[in-house]
Amino acid sequence: MNSSVSALPLSTLSPANEALTLRLPSSLQLKQQLPLTTALAQQVAAHRQGVRAILDGEDSRLLVVVGPCSIHDSQSALEYATHLARLAADVSDQMLLVMRAYVEKPRTTVGWKGLAYDPHLDGSDDMATGLTLSRELMREMLRLGLPIATELLQPMAAGYFDDLLSWVAIGARTTESQIHREMASGLNMPVGFKNGTDGGVAVASDAMRSAAHPHRHFGVDSQGHPAIIQTPGNPDTHLVLRGGHRGPNFDRQSVAQVQTDLEKLKIPARIMVDCSHANSSKNPLRQPAVFNDVLEQRLQGNTALIGMMLESHLFEGCQPLSPSLQYGVSITDGCLGWESTETLLREAAERLRERTNIQLA
Query: Comparing 6-15, 56-65, 125-134, 255-264, which segment has the lowest mean pLDDT?
Result: 6-15
CA-wise closest residue to 305 among 245, 244, 254 = 254
pLDDT tens digits, residue range 19-55?
A: 788 899 999 999 999 999 999 999 999 999 999 999 9
Question: What is the secondary structure of 298-334 as a DSSP string?
Answer: HHTT-TTEEEEEEEB-SSSBB----SS--TT-BSSS-
CA angle 303, 308, 310 (to 5 degrees): 170
Give the pLDDT confidence score for residue 215 in this predicted structure.
98
Of 281 and 359, the one with more pLDDT: 281
33 within domain boundaries: no
Whether 37 is covered by a domain: the verdict is no
pLDDT of residue 2: 46
Mean pLDDT across 225-240: 97
The predicted pLDDT at position 6 comes to 53
Q: What is the pLDDT of residue 194?
A: 98
For 276-307, how does the pLDDT look when each residue is reduced to its tens digit (9 = 90+)? 999 999 999 999 999 999 999 999 999 999 99
Stated pTM of the model: 0.94
- Which one has a higher pLDDT value, 8 or 22? 22
Closest CA to 50 of 59, 39, 62: 59
Task: Check if the beta carbon of residue 32 is closer than 8 Å to that of residue 24.
Answer: no
- pLDDT at residue 9 in the model: 53
CATH number for 341: 3.20.20.70
Within a domain: residue 9? no
Does residue 16 have a pLDDT over 70? no
The single-letter DSSP state of residue 335 is B
Distance CA 157, CA 26 (A): 10
**66 domain residue, yes or no:** yes
Q: Is the pLDDT of residue 12 over 70?
A: no
Residue 13 predicted with pLDDT over 70 = no
The answer, yes or no, to whether residue 341 has pLDDT greater than 50, is yes
The answer to the question of residue 47 being in a domain is no
The mean pLDDT of the chain is 94
Q: Is the pLDDT of residue 79 over 60?
A: yes
Percent share of the chain, pLDDT over 90: 90
SS3 content of the chain, % helix, strand, coil (to 5): 40, 20, 45
User: What is the reported pLDDT for 18?
Assistant: 77
DSSP sequence for 17-74:
TS--EEPPPPHHHHHHHSPPPHHHHHHHHHHHHHHHHHHTTS--SEEEEEE-SS---H
Asked whether the predicted pLDDT for residue 4 surpasses 90, the reply is: no
Q: How many CA atoms lie within 13 A of 218 on its CB side?
A: 3
What pLDDT score does 38 carry? Answer: 98
**Number of folded domains that form the chain:** 1
Instruction: Judge whether 263 and 290 are in contact, CB under 8 Å.
Output: no
Q: Residue 183 belongs to what domain range? A: 61-360
In this prediction, residue 245 has a pLDDT band, given cuts at 50, 70 and 90, of: very high
The answer to the question of residue 28 being in a domain is: no
pLDDT 10s digits, 193-215: 999 999 999 999 999 999 999 99
pLDDT at 249 over 90: yes
pLDDT at residue number 3: 44
* 14 has a pLDDT exceeding 60: no
Residues in the chain: 361
In a domain? residue 18: no
263 falls within a domain: yes
Residue 313: phi and psi, rounded to 5, are: -135, -175
